[in-house]
A = this chain, B = another copy of it.
Amino acid sequence: MKTKLQQKIDLKTKPIGALGMLEKLAHQIGSIQNTETPILNNPTLVVFAGDHGIANEGVSAYPQEVTYQMLFNFLNEGAAINVFSKQHHLDLKIVDAGVNFDFEPDQKLIYNKVNHGTKSFLNARAMSAEEFQECLQKGRAVVKDIALQNTNIIGFGEMGIGNTSSSAMLMSYLCDLPIEDCVGKGTGINEQQVKQKIEILQQAKTFHGDLNTTEEVFAVFGGFEMAQMCGAMLEALKHNMIILVDGFIATAVFLAAYKMNPEIINNAIFCHQSDEKGHARLLRYLKADPILKLGLRLGEGTGCALAYPLIESAVNFLNDMASFESAGVSEKS
């Protein structure tokens, strides 16, 4: 039997299903909020930044210092995510989860540093089990604070040179896929460099061998920004927020959060399918149907910010469009 929510969607002045993806979103959001008149409160975007030991092993097009330089760029409102957050009135928070740089105190920065970057997982565990747990807690704390502002929709972005490599490892282990299915050109390495990246990551798989739990895989290969994002996603679920999932890295983090608590899928909106090679496959694994496919490969939460107005449109049509009856329009003959 049709839910009242689905009935309301179907009786709007349009052919059944004619708003496509927006109808699915309206149904999902109404279901999350258990209402036929959902609202989006104080939409927030949190960007977690952290450094990766693996970045120094020849897997990335950019040097590690770009992480802290980009963090300054975020604070100075010069990055893509600043521009798009401002456009859509998203409350943007920047978190130092573990950048290899000591920032002066800055009101705009959430100082959540666990360490000055992870170790290279080529020959060590990226972080200890304790550091991983600390990340989960610190990520949760960020969202707990945000929940006090009545935020009910939250997106997550990341900055960390090397983190497509970490994400590829998470995907390879947690989806049980060969590493070459999970590796792409990241911020822009060429084909020869992609081959090298695959070789390096294969070496790391050989070095670490089988791992038993999601938590262990995450600690061995993950980044501090990724682990904090994972805690933040789990906390967002606890507050029944709508969770906006960005590109490849955020989806790999989401995958881990999903393994820890499968219910999180109900609250997740997949915002953008990135050009990064593994992302389409990872989304298929999660049976996710992303809103946008703009060929972005930037991270920072840009996919979330750009998809936001479409999510808002889904809520708006549900609340504001006339029904056949109220508008006096004839139904299908």
Contact = CB atoms under 8 A, between A and B. Distances in A.
Contacts of A298: 14-15, 18-19
Contacts of A15: 61-62, 187-188, 297-298
Interface of A is mostly: loop
A163 to B, nearest CB: 13
Interface in A316-333: 316-317, 320-322, 326-330, 332-333
Interface string A289-318: 001111111100010001001101100110
B329 A84 contact: no
Interface stretch (A67-75, A200-208, A211-219, A223-231): A67-75
A65 interface: yes
A10 B78 CA distance: 15
A291 B294 contact: yes
A177 interface: no
B13 A70 contact: yes
A156 to B, nearest CB: 18
Nearest to A87: B316
A326 B80 contact: no
A83 interface: yes
Given A14-B298, A15-B188, A66-B330, 12 more contacts: A21-B295, A22-B296, A22-B306, A61-B332, A66-B329, A69-B329, A76-B322, A78-B326, A79-B321, A80-B317, A83-B313, A86-B320
